[in-house]
Structure 1
Amino acid sequence: MTREASNLKGIPFSLFLVMTLQFAVGGAVLPFMSMWLEEKGLSFSEISLIFSVASTTFLVFPFLWGMIADRYLPIEWMFFFLNGMAGVSMWWMQSQTEYGGLMLSFVFFYSFYHPTFTLINALSFQYLTQPKEQFGAVRAWGSVGWILPSLVVFAWLLYHPNASLQFVLKVGMVSCLLTACSTLLLPRRVNPSPPDRSQASTAYWMALKTLFRQTDYLVLLAAFFLVSASFSFVVYYGPPYLRTSGIDQAWIGPIQCIGVILEIMLFPFLRNYLRRWGFATTLLMGCVCLFARHLVYYVSNNPWMLSLSYLLAGMVIVFFHIVASILVNMMAGKEVRATAQTLLVVFGSGVGPMLSNYLAGVLTQQTGNSLRPVFGLGMLLAFGACLLIVSRYRSLARYHVQNPGHSTRPT
């Protein structure tokens, strides 16, 4: 048996299924949301305000979901609830025509669905005996899930070239329903004995206090804030920029899949990159790729260059987002791992995009709805993340994977 096959042994098939379907929801909706809102007659400044307001929900909800998953409710049931409510939110969103209704319905969807991007990591770690070795292969199926609805949307738009993007919400609702049901297939994890509530509460707050005393963790949160703020421009403003550069909207989904396919190719070898380069170098590489991605969009409108730059976006996901999640799992005590992962969402997908989308709205309003200054701002944010990683490079380099199934952390 090969080492790769040995690493996957014992991982429940249902975990791969949940990972695939969870990302299928995002692949169906998020890449097309800006263009769908444009169809409703909104300008980029109005669209940016919707994204900014939605991001404010991450100041409360993700932390709440993570704490509940750590202390009260099995994380599998949390996923069932969040996906169910995300589906209800999209059902409500599809009937909205006024600006207020569009904003409120998207805010509801965002607050329920987006935290699952990080909570899925905490869920996966609980079923993996060797997270540093196994997580890359499991997460690759999330990238497969992201691709699948893009192919469905591509086929629909190819044969219905003048069709509304309303179709993507229907695909998203079906994906939410399938994801919620798939979580019921996960093996039940049985605790040897029920924990003492008072002792568990004390241990939780002690572990959280210890986590916040780690400078490396705080710097990683700040870098995640900057990278997520910058990457939100890739997700929300990349697709409409492709369309204004002359690319038919039917091809936008497949073009974004270029980066996702690279993710799938890189994930199985993630443990090798971490052993060879270490966490610090890998994180820094992710930041540099993000800077380069925005540079391409800032200086060019060539369709081929814009399309191929999605390879850089795929590298950002693997080398920064996923590696940061693995590193946080190493830094945090087992009592607060779901909370520590959720804090990445609070500072990353919450505060970061909240501020960056607000600034994007101001820039587009001042420059006649042009998106090029937005990508310039993305470059600056990515550069700031590079400086943060460099400032703690030696300390972060002490975290490394030694041999298969083993990892070390500073003591």
Structure 2
Amino acid sequence: MPFIVRFRLSLMMFLEFFVWGSWYVTMGTFLGSNLKAQDQDISLAFSTQSFGAILAPFIVGLIADRYFQAQKILGFIHLLGAVLMYLLYSSENFAGFFPLLLIYMILFMPTLALVNSISFNQMKNPEKEFSVIRVWGTIGWVTAGFIISALAWDSQTGLAEGLLKNTWIMASIVSLGLGIYSFTLPSTPPRAKTAGEFKFSEVLGLDALALLKHKNYAIFFLSSILICIPLAFYYQNASPFLTEIGVENSTGKMAFGQVSEVLFMLALPIFFSRFGLKNTLIVAMLAWAIRYVLFAFGDADSGVWMLLVGIALHGVCYDFFFVSGQIYTDAHAGEKFKSSAQGLITLATYGVGMLIGFWAAGQISNYYQDATGVHFWKSIWMIPSGISILVLLFFISLFKKEKINTQP
């Protein structure tokens, strides 16, 4: 791949995940502090991601795979997203905030599949090339987190002054820039525009469901749904957890999870080639279980190292499962439905699995708290750890070792 193309795709990834990381990590804390939302409200807000992800395969299959160039759709969505981010910044209560967030996430979640599709379209060897580009998305997410902590928006003083709402205006500005930039990206033409009989299932991207006829991929798909139940606990509860137990600069510390993600992203091609897909996924799921145990027994004083190690394990959890899964999905997808196939795995992970997970996390967090709103975090974190172990055992038992072909 030419350097200039690699640079342009890397910048796309950086901006895509900077926008998301600008507000997503701290949303739970923002809702509780600025809008006085309850645990159930916070759970509902995070669930908007899942509703967007469930619709993503159909949106991408309808538009990107059949009619329009993916980079143009990406630009249009982010321009609309900039407007919605500003409106979220201006929201004064949860009732006004929630419908705007729902619309935004229905628009945003398909872009995760679109940036992958745009990237894969330029690659001859995704197994080696994709991680080098995708790592810049992680760097974008980290940069957003460090900016938030550097400006002290998430500090006790910042929370008291309501400064955390500035994350939304920051996301709005960067989304505007990405929207304009997207129109300059390499052309990614529609692939499914073929002659012949019109098929409604093809228009909606449902033909990508044919991937589930492959037994191994079906096991992987189901495991993706199940492992995202405990993952939702991390996204929804980690920031309020660290803030409640008194960890300073919690957003900056959580960004260390993405720093480790950069390191493990670079190590992924070596590990993937040497140990194979199954072992890579096993390591990821085991890391999930260990992380939640560390959260359960860590604290803000002598046990802070446990929290930091648990945060750092995010790199293993995310890279070894999600990025490997994207590569695996691309290898199984035919040339005709690459975009809708990436949308399908987005549905499994960010959609169905996390929708269940966010609901469960909200119910469990609400159950394990006292009358003053203080949570019993040890009990809360042990539940997703146990779920992770069960999913790991399911996967080990049924998924057969498979050598995948990532060549075009």
Assess same fold via TM > 0.5: yes
The counterpart of 1:34, out of the listed 28, 35, 40, is 28
Q: 1:329 to 1:388 in 2, by over 3 A?
A: farther
What are the within-5 Å matches in structure 2 for residues 332-343 of structure 1? 332-343=333-344
What are the within-5 Å matches in structure 2 for residues 15-94 of structure 1? 15-39=9-33, 40-52=35-47, 54-94=49-89
The counterpart of 2:392, out of the listed 373, 382, 386, is 386
8 Å contact 2:154–2:164 — kept in the other structure?
A: no
8 Å contact 1:278–1:399 — kept in the other structure?
A: yes
CA distance in 1, matches of 2:82, 2:31: 18
TM (normalized to structure 1)? 0.87
CA distance in 1, matches of 2:287, 2:169: 33
Secondary structure, in 3 states, of the residue corresponding to 1:247?
A: coil
CA distance in 2, matches of 1:77, 1:320: 29
Which residue pairs with 1:277 in the alignment?
A: 275
CA distance in 2, matches of 1:363, 1:282: 30
CA distance in 2, matches of 1:354, 1:194: 30
Task: Give the CA deviation at 1:209.
Answer: 5.8
Task: Give the CA deviation at 1:201.
Answer: 5.4
Which stretch of structure 1 is more off in the superposition, 128-137 or 217-226?
A: 217-226
Provide, for residues 327-375 of structure 1, a one-character-per-residue CA deviation record: whole Å limited to 9, x for no partner: 0111111212211111122222112121221122222222225244442
Write the letter of the residue equivalent to 1:269. Answer: A
Which residue pairs with 2:146 in the alignment?
A: 151
CA distance in 2, matches of 1:380, 1:159: 31
Write the letter of the residue equivalent to 1:114. Answer: M
TM (normalized to structure 2)? 0.88
CA distance in 2, matches of 1:186, 1:12: 11
Which residue pairs with 2:8 in the alignment?
A: 14
Provide, for residues 190-217 of structure 1, a one-character-per-residue CA deviation record: whole Å limited to 9, x for no partner: 79x9953436859958953642311222
8 Å contact 1:263–1:315 — kept in the other structure?
A: yes
Which residue pairs with 1:169 in the alignment?
A: 168
Task: Give the CA deviation at 1:317.
Answer: 1.2
Write the letter of the residue equivalent to 2:63. Answer: I
Q: 1:74 to 1:288 in 2, by over 3 A?
A: same
Task: Give the CA deviation at 1:296.
Answer: 1.1
Q: 1:64 to 1:85 in 2, by over 3 A?
A: same
What are the within-5 Å matches in structure 2 for residues 215-364 of structure 1? 215-248=215-248, 251-301=249-299, 302-364=303-365
What are the within-5 Å matches in structure 2 for residues 81-230 of structure 1? 81-157=76-152, 161-162=157-158, 163=161, 164-189=163-188, 195-198=193-196, 204=202, 208=208, 210-230=210-230
Task: Give the CA deviation at 1:400.
Answer: 4.1
CA distance in 2, matches of 1:12, 1:54: 29
CA distance in 1, matches of 2:211, 2:192: 25
CA distance in 2, matches of 1:388, 1:25: 35
Provide, for residues 71-120 of structure 1, a one-character-per-residue CA deviation record: whole Å limited to 9, x for no partner: 11111112112222222221121222233212212212222223323432
Q: 1:8 to 1:187 in 2, by over 3 A?
A: closer
Task: Give the CA deviation at 1:69.
Answer: 0.8
The runs of 5 or more residues in structure 2 that have no matched partner are none
8 Å contact 2:135–2:265 — kept in the other structure?
A: yes
Write the letter of the residue equivalent to 1:399. Answer: K
User: Percent of aligned pairs with the same residue?
Assistant: 21
Secondary structure, in 3 states, of the residue corresponding to 2:246?
A: coil
CA distance in 2, matches of 1:194, 1:354: 30
CA distance in 2, matches of 1:343, 1:32: 27
Secondary structure, in 3 states, of the residue corresponding to 1:129?
A: coil
Q: 1:90 to 1:196 in 2, by over 3 A?
A: same
Write the letter of the residue equivalent to 1:128. Answer: M
8 Å contact 1:94–1:169 — kept in the other structure?
A: yes
Write the letter of the residue equivalent to 2:252. Answer: P
Say how many residue pairs are matched: 393
Q: 1:68 to 1:361 in 2, by over 3 A?
A: same
Secondary structure, in 3 states, of the residue corresponding to 1:114?
A: helix
CA distance in 1, matches of 2:154, 2:25: 20
Task: Give the CA deviation at 1:308.
Answer: 2.5
Secondary structure, in 3 states, of the residue corresponding to 2:152?
A: helix
8 Å contact 1:242–1:303 — kept in the other structure?
A: no
